[in-house]
Structure 1
Amino acid sequence: MSRQVLTSRAGTWILDLRTTSPRHLGAIRAWVAQHLPGLGSTHLDDVLLIVNELVANAYLHGGGPSHLQLWRGVRPCAVRVEVGDVNDEHLLLTRTGSGDPALGIRLVDNVCVQWGVQHHHDHDGKTVWAHVACDGFSE
């Protein structure tokens, strides 16, 4: 991942995750943080939690992630995270025993404004997305 200086402008960035593994989660979070300069620490922590949970969920249950798309709006301040995977099965949202396989998505639900799943009809897989509102970016 290349280093570049980014400003607090609106934008969309895509990271190809097809050749990654769970050991890359730290580098993926660093890439996201690099693209959100000036975002307040509370909202950045929320975004990084969402990224971690959605990407980890794609590794564990989605057959592996295909990409991460990050969108940032400035007025109003908002961040949207999208993670594509290769499995078109629905997300498990109910507790099914001693472990809670839906804990990650429940954490996402607690820190975002809205989240959802878009199933792809032209190819296998789905995109899980989450939207975070924020107070603004500092320069």
Structure 2
Amino acid sequence: MPEARSDPDPAPPSWSMDLRGTSTPALVEVRRWASRALARVDDAHLGDVLLVATELVTNAYDHGDGPLQVRMSHTPSSCRVRIEVDDSCPDHPVLATPSLERPGGRGMHIVAKLARTWGVREHPGGSKTVWAEVSCDGIDAVPCAAMAGS
């Protein structure tokens, strides 16, 4: 599902990390990498971004035969971070009904709650990209540090 860009910003800078052949302990490295790449993002906003990134990468480990790559981009003028995770499984994530009887089923609810929007982009050959955009325009929003310095 292509996404139409309507904002006047040029393409934001993006960062990527190859995750082929990794296991869940790599989540620590993903969080460290994202924290360094997004150093100009306010700590409160960064916490939401890291949680969404962790959930998307964890889903790729648990349901998508492992993540292939994670990418992030930051658009300071609208204070938005886009997270994308590629995996080789064609199945889309779902908002499952959480249950006390079984573990899991809460990750995409967390993503849906923290992200302004999220979706899936399918690729030829059965792979996909799951993406989410986290903004800091909520009721308790703190402006991005990048905005405060402009």
- C-alpha contact (below 8 Å) 1:17/1:68 kept by paired residues: yes
Cα distance in structure 2, aligned partners of 1:99 and 1:126: 26
Q: Does 1:137 align with 2:145?
A: yes
Unaligned runs of 5+ in 1: 1-9
Query: What CA deviation, in whole Å up to 9, does each residue of 1:117-139 have, x standing for no partner?
Result: 1111x222111111011322345
Classify the secondary structure of the residue corresponding to 2:20: coil
Cα distance in structure 1, aligned partners of 2:45 and 2:87: 25
Cα distance in structure 1, aligned partners of 2:34 and 2:95: 26
Q: 2:118: which partner in 1?
A: 115
Cα distance in structure 2, aligned partners of 1:131 and 1:72: 10
Percentage of pairs with the same residue:
36
Query: What CA deviation, in whole Å up to 9, does each residue of 1:48-73 have, x standing for no partner?
Result: 00111000110000111010010111
CA RMSD in angstroms comes to 1.6
Unaligned runs of 5+ in 2: 1-11, 137-142
Q: Could you list the runs of 4 or more consecutive aligned residues of structure 1 that deviate by over 2 angstroms after TM superposition?
A: 92-102, 134-139
* Equivalent residues, number: 129
Q: 2:56: which partner in 1?
A: 54
Residue 42 of structure 1, CA deviation: 1.1
For normalisation by structure 2, the TM-score amounts to 0.79
